[in-house]
Structure formats: structure tokens, C-alpha cells
Amino acid sequence: MLIRLKGGRVVDPLNDRDAIGDVFIENGRIVEGASHGRKPDETYDLTGKVVMAGGVDIHSHIAGSNVTLGRALMPELPVLAAQGGASIAPSPDAWGAYATGIRYAEMGYTTVIEPALIPTHAIEAQIELASIPIIDIGALVILGNDDFSLGLLRDGGREAELQDYVGWTLGHAKALGLKVINAGGSEAFKFNARTFGLDDVVPDYGVTSRTVLKVLQRAVTELGVPHPVHVHCNNLGIAGNVETAVATMEATEGLPIHLAHIQFYGYGAEGEEGLSSGAPRLAEAINAHRNVSVDIGQVMFGQTITISGDILRQFDGRRGAHPKKWAIDQGDGNGTGIVPYQYRAGNFANAVQWSVGLEIVLLAEDLWRVLFSTDHPNGALFVRYPEIVHLLMDRDERARMLERLPESARQVSNLASIGRELTLSEIAIITRGAPARLLGLTDRGHLGPGAVADVAVYTEQKNKTAMFASAHLLFKDGALVVRDGEVVNVTWGKAYHVAPGVDAHIERRLAAFYDRYYGVDPSIFGVPAQIAGRPDRFATVPCLN
């Protein structure tokens, strides 16, 4: 069946397109319109509408034992968030798996990356992900605080083996990429460390965070995993930590790296309060390091919950819990810390955070390397994306918000002096084109012929919050799934992963390791293809070599 999306404003930066025109869909793919010369079976008149590829979210904690621990801690989260004005149903199931897919689709998103798969809990995460409707997913599996990696590094000269181990872990968990969270920091926490920097040494193992990170980065590059190592740096959320982020960029020596939720590393230590915007310094470093990509981790005011494998940081952060409860799960590898949190406009530090995130985007020279995220739910719930798009596209909206901030925060922020308003095409870059490209998902994030027919249609209007809160239409794999902001057809997506080939000896070593230290066989946490109960659930993304 040939579908014609007629006369909308097609915004497709990957194909250099921003013009009124048509998009054709056939058999779940975008097809060349002109060459067909036949009458479409179905035509949608999209006059006054904006047509984009389906949204691609590179970093959003939507599933897994860590997220479900958060749900168990705070079933009232959606109720509190809704009371604060967030566009979410005031019901515990509004942050359950099913509602997550529905809400993403309503906003025009079609692919979401869960960025913190715990290797030994990969089965739970993949089952949860499989119960999220409509969207496709990919997951990033966490290493860098696990004793097997650290053991290989302590022994030295075992990089080839480590590379095999990374490949094995990616395949075993059916992950799309590798995540490293405060490399060595969680392990140090196990020895009662309470801070951990890039050049601090992991107790007993004698290696620095820098070494762990660099070796894992090389392993990902050597394996040809399309998505570069995805890194949560040391010293998250600490005044002056912009230097940590810059030092991390410098440590990479030109190899690709993705730095997650960079806003949380955008803090200088200037001013009376000892906290200031480090955004200009950070933006300058991002602009200069062309091997580096980042996502924002934008903060929005309101109730949320923070969920992180940076247990050392979360342990410290427990003091700021709101409501006053938290979970510190001292698990295998990284562990997880869950701390409910309320960002307040009247709070100096929160106001600086809010400003820093926006500044980083607005100061970026190359938006293909500065991607959209809130680190859901850490900076803000994903349901708040439309408000952030609004802020990025509308300086008056920013000025209106700035009015609400404490004078002290405005003094250390640069936002008032930035006039830039992102265009629709730039929004499409940071929410579609760039994340898809960076993930190696080349069949999406754009509307060129051959791309998967994930197409979001929005009603063009001045109020960008309203525009992006509910898609006029959403096509997933060519099927209409959303009409006028409501899901009309519940479909089930795919899970994308890599499957690097690995030397069989690593399996024997791992079997011995898990038997000795955990009394189990690693097969019990390997993800079988049939786990989701749907035969075509998993799809392999080829490695680059």
C-alpha cells in the first residue's frame, strides 16, 4: 500500500530538506515519491503540518531492575509530578512499562535507548523493555565497576581479553552499546571511598579511573560497535566539575566518546555561592573536540526521581531526598542509588542547573554532537520534553522563566545574553538525526528513501510546548499509531543490539569466574532471543569491522 503524506513542511536535516513537499510510505519504508507515477492508496493532507522522522531518544531510563526499584520506592511519583503541572496521568501505572510506550508515541517518539542495563539483570530489563509498546529500543550495558574487568586490568597486558569480555557482555545482554558509569568509582565505594576522580586509584586493583575508561573505550572502538562508549563521568553534580568533563574529553585522544547528561558536569566554582555556570567553558571544549558527542541532561523544575549506577554520588545525594526516602542498592558491579528529588525554580543551585543545560545547547557550534535528553527521570521526566523544545526555540519563553529564578542564579547564568533560537531543523537534528546516526541506526532519524517509515507529524504553531506534546499523526513502520495525540493502534517494536564475535576462551574464563565468586553459571543471565515471546523482537546492528 502506497501512502502519501501530502503538502506538509518536511523537516529532514539529514537529507538537507526543510520545505513544503510530500513523503511517501510503502511496506513500512520511506520510498521515492516521483518515481512511482502511480496513485497512492491513501493520502493525508498535511497542509499546515510539520513532518519529521520519529523521535530518537539516546538516553532515558525506562526499564530494568534499577528503574523498577525506583517504581517500588515511589509509586506516587506520577501523582506528585502531575500536581506540579507535568503532563502525566496521576496514577502509579503512568510510569509503568505500558504507559511509557504510549506516552512516547503520543509525543512522536519511535526509538528510545535505555542506558543502564545491569549485566546480571539483563533478562529483567529486556522483558520490561519488551512490554513497552510501539517504540523500538536499544540498551546500553554497564561495565567498568565489575571485578572481572578490573581483574584483567590489574594483571596488565590483558587488553585483548578485555575486548573479548566487552564483546561477550554486549552479546550476552543483547545490548546496543557499552555504558561506563564513574569508572572504578562504585568499586571504590565498596572500599568506603566517598569521592572518586579521574585519576583516583581503584582500591586493591591499583588502576585509575582514567585507565579503566580508556581501555574500555578502545575495546568498543576495536570491536567496531557503532555507538561510541557512553560515559557518565566522575564527580557528577559537584561545583567546579567542568574541569573533570574537560579532562575526560582530553583523555580520549581523538577516539569517539559520548558523554551523557553533560549538564550535570557544567558547573564552575565562581561567585558568592561557589557555584556558577561552566557552560561556556564546556561548550568551548565540546566545540573543540570533534570526537566527542554529548547529550544535555536538561533539568526542569518539579518533582522527579534520580536513578543512577553512580552509587557513590547517589549515596551522597541521599541527603537532598525529597520526599525523604531513598534506596542505596549495593549490587554486583555498579549497584544503584535511587533518590527522589524536586528541582525548584527558587533554589539557587537548581536554577543554575536549569540554565546550564540550555546554555550548552545554545552555545553549540555543531548540534550533531549535542543531543537532546533530560536523562529521564534524573533531570526531568520525559513527558516534559515539549517544554524544553519550547525553551530552545523561543527566547521570550526563556526570559519569562528567568524571571522566576533567584537574582543570584541569574547573575551566574549566561542565558539572558544568548539570543539564539533553534530552528525546527535544529530540533530535528538533536531529537532525531544526530542520535540515530550516533547510535549506528542508519535506517532512522531521517526521511530519505529506504528509511524505516517512522514519521511524526506535528501541527505547526507558536506554542511549541503544545506543538510537540501531541503528534497530529505518528506512523511506526508505516502503520498509523497516533492520531491527534492519541494512540489508535498498539504495535510492538524491536530491540536493536550488536553481536560482536568473541573468542570462545573468554566463555570458559567467565564460567570459572562466576562459579567461584557467585556460585552460578553465566548462562542464567544471558538473554535468549525468545525472552520477549515474539519471534522478531531482536534485530542485530552490524559492527563496523
Partner 1 sequence: MAPKQKGGGVEAASALLRAAQLLGRTRFPVIGGLLTDIDGAVAALALAKKLRGVIDHAAGEELARGSQIMRERGASPASFGETRNRADVIVMVGSGPLKRDPGLFQDLFPEEKGLPRPGDQARRLILLGDDLVNAPTHVKLTQVGQGGSDLPTLIARLGAAVAERPVGDEGQGDPLAQVAESLRTAAFAVIVYSVADLDEPALFTILDMVRHLSVATRAATLALAAPGNGDGVNLCSTWTCGLPVRTSFAGSVPEHDARRFAASRLIESGEADALVWIDALAEQGVRRPKGVPTIVLSSSDDAGEGEADILIEVACAGRDHDAALYLPAISGIGLVKAAHPNQDKPTVAAVLNNISGLIDKREAA
Rule CB under 5 A: which residues touch Zn ion?
375
Distances in Å between the Cα of 74 and the Cα atoms of 298, 304, 307, 308, 340 are: 22, 10, 12, 15, 8
Pick one of 27, 47, 83, 330: the residue that binds partner 1 (CB under 8 A): 330
Helix (H) or strand (E) holding 262: none
Distance CA 489, CA 479 (A): 8
516 binds partner 1, rule: CB under 8 A: yes
Nearest C-alpha neighbor of 345 from the set 301, 380, 298, 408: 301
Instruction: CB nearer to partner 1: give 75 or 271.
Output: 75
Q: Which is nearer to partner 1, 75 or 448 (CB)?
A: 75
* 56 vs 99, beta carbon nearer partner 1: 99
Q: Does 496 bind partner 1 (CB under 8 A)?
A: no
CB of 270 to partner 1, least distance (A): 31
- DSSP character string of 527-544: --GGGGS-TT-EEEPPP-
Figure out which of the listed residues 36, 272, 517, 540 binds partner 1, where binding follows CB under 8 A.
517
Is residue 158 part of the contact set for partner 1 (CB under 8 A)? no
Among 21, 271, 280, 331, binds partner 1 (CB under 8 A): 331
For residue 104, the minimal CB distance to partner 1 (Å) is 16
Query: Which residue, 196 or 267, has its beta carbon nearer to partner 1?
Result: 196
Q: Is 368 helix (H, G, I), strand (E, B) or coil?
A: helix
C-alpha cell at 264: 550535570
CB 331 within 8 A of CB 337: no
Q: In this complex, which beta carbon is closest to partner 1, that of residue 96 or of residue 448?
A: 96
200 binds partner 1 (CB under 8 A): no
Count of Cβ atoms closer than 10 Å to residue 171 Cβ:
19
Please report how close the Cβ of residue 297 comes to Zn ion at its closest, in angstroms. 7
Residue 375 binding target from Zn ion, partner 1, none, CB below 5 to 8 Å by type: Zn ion
Burial of 192 (0-12, 13-18, 19+ CB in 10 A): exposed
What does the alpha-carbon distance between residue 66 and residue 333 come to, in Å, rounded to a whole number? 13
Which of 15, 43, 91, 408 lies at the binding interface for partner 1 (CB under 8 A)?
Answer: 91
Rg (CA), the chain: 22
> Does 78 participate in binding partner 1 (rule CB under 8 A)?
yes
Site for partner 1 in 267-326 (CB under 8 A): 315, 325-326
Binding to partner 1, residues 56-75 (CB under 8 A): 63, 65, 67-69, 71-75
Residues 124-143 that bind partner 1 (CB under 8 A): 124, 127-128, 131
Q: Which residues contact 43 (CB under 8 A, 6 or more apart)?
A: 3, 4, 6
Count CB-CB contacts under 10 A for residue 166. Answer: 26
Q: Give the one residue of 26, 147, 200, 394 binding partner 1; rule: CB under 8 A.
A: 147
Q: Cα–Cα distances in Å, from 404 out to 44, 277, 278, 300, 347?
A: 42, 18, 21, 13, 10
Strand ranges (DSSP E) for 13-129?
17-26, 29-31, 42-45, 49-53, 55-57, 109-117
What is residue 444's three-state secondary structure?
coil
Picking from 287, 214, 249, 223, the residue whose alpha carbon sits closest to that of residue 545 is 223
Nearest residue to Zn ion, by Cβ distance, number only = 375
Non-local (6+) Cβ contacts of 361 within 8 A are: 296, 367, 370, 372, 392, 422, 430
**109 lies in the binding site for partner 1 (CB under 8 A):** no
Asked if 334 interacts with partner 1 (CB under 8 A), we say: no
507 binds, among Zn ion, partner 1, none (CB under 5 to 8 A by kind): none
Give whichever of 143 and 362 is closer to partner 1, judged by the CB atom.
143
Task: Please enumerate in sequence order all residues whose Cβ is within 8 A of that of 538, keeping only pairs 6 or more positions apart, or say none.
Answer: 174, 494, 495, 496, 497, 529, 532
Residue with cell 519488551: 130
Residue 497 Cβ vs partner 1, minimum distance, rounded to whole Å: 17
DSSP category for residue 378: T
Least CB distance to Zn ion at residue 338 (A): 13
Instruction: Considering only residues 8 through 27, tell me which ones interact with partner 1, judged by CB under 8 A.
Output: none
| Distance of closest approach, residue 128 Cβ to partner 1, in angstroms | 5
Give least dist CB 220 to partner 1, A: 25
CB of 191 or CB of 399, closer to partner 1 = 191
What is the footprint of partner 1 within residues 175-194 (CB under 8 A)?
190-192
Longest dimension (CA), the chain: 70
In this chain, which of 24, 95, 168, 458 binds partner 1, going by CB under 8 A?
95
How far the first Cα of the chain sits from its last, in Å, is 37
Q: Choose the binding region for partner 1 from 25-33, 86-94, 286-294, 504-512 (rule: CB under 8 A).
A: 86-94
Among 405, 531, 541, 543, contact with partner 1 (rule: CB under 8 A): 531
Cβ 285 to partner 1 shortest distance, Å: 35
Q: How many residues does the chain have?
A: 545
Q: Which of 26, 332, 443, 460 binds partner 1 (CB under 8 A)?
A: 332
Under the criterion CB under 8 A, does residue 535 sit at the interface with partner 1?
no
**Which of 18, 22, 273, 329 is in the footprint of partner 1 by CB under 8 A?**
329
Q: Is 82 in the site for partner 1 (CB under 8 A)?
A: no
Name the site residues for partner 1 (rule: CB under 8 A). Answer: 63, 65, 67-69, 71-75, 78, 89-98, 118, 120-121, 123-124, 127-128, 131, 147, 190-192, 203-205, 315, 325-332, 335, 338, 516-520, 523-526, 528, 531, 533
